[in-house]
Structure 1
């Protein structure tokens, strides 16, 4: 079956584009906005409204497939592609992509995904957000053309078993890091709260004291509010390199601090994402490796999650091969076409590193649901609840898509975990 029409629609994402360099540099706040000058190229303000572009593909049978191009909240940071706006990119998509799409056969998703992922503009790969949204639409097109769920398409093309067991979901709190935790405990999410610790003075503390207090509170709060002792979520906190800032990237000092956090976590597993950001990939790998080695030397069970400078599929391969982390965040928009996300999860599995299928609050319902299908096919150890920072809305989108798929797959393929 072929594509007969392609449309590109400007849309909004579920959060905002934030200039990470300015925020980490101590930008002040005024209500929901930040004050001061932007530092990252492409930003006019430190916080700007999030945008998306919907890709709509009409098929010969009259159905429309969809995918949403979206970029991460901290665009332009840590080696990522620049700010993504509809005004900038829709004209190029209409003139360059539409002719390539109309008449294209959608029988095989992976072939089409590889094709669009290799497209270039001015000698460079096209923006990761465009590859991300277009690949979602192509996956949806293959599914609609063959009367399959997107998860079934992935399982068929990658020869993976159908598994209807529930995935482990990870809630993100945004700055509402206390009330959101109560919600997460009530709804029994598997990992919490992300925490958004992206500023030293207001969130981490000049000596790390604010985060220490927060981790202590988290452990106590889970124990207080959980209904039964069987609920033992992981505590997963993203610190955006701020721990490295206060300890001058000293791996011994950082490991000692992380170990102390682990002792405060009330025996709940503690994952710290992005403890350092040294500004380049080789340095990031080496420092994370040194911190991890020191944690093992002192018998700490705190686990390190790689994020900054671990953006593309190739980056993930290098981080995994270096054995510098316990878990990798596969930040889906940064990998471009979602076949890269599929293969990144599978690579982590093959090499004994935990896979966290993440993304960004700055996505849409369409991209979040597409990623859930990827997760159900590839079975990562953790799946981000997205989009947005409100938690409940993202949980509704992701958890309900998972449960609908479980019901359909069980009806079509039988008992849980059945192979195809």
Structure 2
């Protein structure tokens, strides 16, 4: 093994995310489409238009042995909503990175991933660094540790968190964007494990009393049997962006009744409903989601509630998991910050018997998506998002191929270790 490398220089590379940043408040208020853009004024601070191209900032760590490893900083699609950090501004993030983060990185020993994260992500002026910085820099630090150890990123996580090296893939979940019907067909033809997200983010898509949404759910289930391979039976996962609460009412009983009826519409399918309502604060979300979960559990349905909004940081993930205020928690990685905390989030969920969905955003990059796969496999999350982008094919390819390569490497190493142990035992 090489001597412990340090960081001797830093490179920054402005780049593009894989989709757009969207002003959720303006969209929820009924902003009209004009082709791909939205009409009207932005409502969320930091947005200059309702839909803005997503940007990223790559950070390259030049190690003492001249190897350069990278990570990508960015925000999520609905930045500034649901308690999230403001929309990502490259110039602002770059200035803070240069003034605060780079001095902390220079000379750091990157052989200890968790130790390096703790040093670099210390509070600045009594505040946490922007989570986009934590997210991108931690990707680079993990790659530096893996380069030093001559292992995969997943094996570094297993070593740091004392986890067994896995040999099983994690189910992949794809999101459709607005091209719902076309992209559902793509997902089914590719036998995606979990589908389709659906982007039910407006009254137009949800329908009066939710009838339009119910019809869509039934159509997706029917379509899986019409064009899917024999025996194909995916989990059905829909993100409704709070519209059950907005349209049906902000009462746990009414929301649970609606979700239970949805489950009855598609018998035999596991049904995930993400963000059935947004109660406006973490405390209210925690209390009301716990009621919805308890009501559904008493009914014994195949419906599961997934929390996203108001459950962003590791501390909030811990609160929801311990309170059983969701059946699954979306660990939205750019909102969590350091990917070390995303790994902790999965483990916290598993410790409390709550499902862990390692998610993220369509605005991410190929680099951050590949790092996420390693976290998901190492911690054995219950499912992970096919990202980045909204094109379906690209996300499935990037995440699916990275996972296939990773599992093949881990299985190869396991077989080599078994072979060596067998030779040693017979010697």
Q: TM-score by structure 2 length?
A: 0.95
Deviation of the 1:206 alpha carbon: 2.2
Contact 1:185/1:225 (<8 A) preserved: yes
Contact 1:219/1:266 (<8 A) preserved: no
- 1:95 and 2:99 correspond: yes
Which one of 29, 43, 66 corresponds to residue 62 of structure 1? 66
What CA distance in whole angstroms lies between the structure 2 residues aligned with 1:123 and 1:163? 39
Q: Match of 1:17? A: 21
Which one of 150, 167, 171 corresponds to residue 168 of structure 1? 171
Q: For 1:234-284, what per-residue CA distance to the aligned partner results, in whole angstroms no more than 9, with x for missing partners?
A: 000001111100122022221111111111224211000000001101111
- 1:307 and 2:308 correspond: yes
SS of corresponding position for 2:236: strand
What CA distance in whole angstroms lies between the structure 2 residues aligned with 1:112 and 1:285? 33
Q: Match of 1:271? A: 272
Counting matched residue pairs gives 416
Deviation of the 1:387 alpha carbon: 0.3
Question: What residue ranges of structure 2 are gaps of 5+ in the alignment?
Answer: 422-427
Q: For 1:79-128, what per-residue CA distance to the aligned partner results, in whole angstroms no more than 9, with x for missing partners?
A: 111111212221221222222211111110011112233232x4321110
Which range moves more in the overlay, 14-23 or 287-296?
A: 287-296
What CA distance in whole angstroms lies between the structure 2 residues aligned with 1:79 and 1:283? 13
- 1:191 and 2:194 correspond: yes
Q: Match of 2:141? A: 138
Q: Match of 1:127? A: 130
Question: What residue ranges of structure 1 are gaps of 5+ in the alignment?
Answer: none
What CA distance in whole angstroms lies between the structure 2 residues aligned with 1:417 and 1:360? 39
What CA distance in whole angstroms lies between the structure 1 residues aligned with 2:101 and 2:154? 26
Contact 2:210/2:248 (<8 A) preserved: no
Q: Match of 2:369? A: 368
What CA distance in whole angstroms lies between the structure 1 residues aligned with 2:180 and 2:198? 6
Q: Match of 1:233? A: 234
What CA distance in whole angstroms lies between the structure 1 residues aligned with 2:41 and 2:155? 48
Q: Match of 2:218? A: 216
Q: Match of 1:388? A: 389
Which one of 73, 79, 85 corresponds to residue 75 of structure 1? 79
Q: Match of 1:108? A: 112
- 1:149 and 2:168 correspond: no
Which range moves more in the overlay, 87-96 or 321-330?
A: 87-96
Coordinate RMSD, CA, aligned: 1.6
What CA distance in whole angstroms lies between the structure 1 residues aligned with 2:237 and 2:274? 7
Contact 2:191/2:229 (<8 A) preserved: no
Alignment CA distance shift 1:298-1:140 (3 Å): same
Contact 2:101/2:120 (<8 A) preserved: no
Contact 1:16/1:50 (<8 A) preserved: yes
Q: Write out the 4+ residue segments of structure 1 that deviate beyond 4 Å after TM superposition.
A: 415-418
Q: TM-score by structure 1 length?
A: 0.96
Contact 1:5/1:59 (<8 A) preserved: yes
What CA distance in whole angstroms lies between the structure 1 residues aligned with 2:119 and 2:189? 44
Which one of 193, 196, 207 corresponds to residue 205 of structure 1? 207
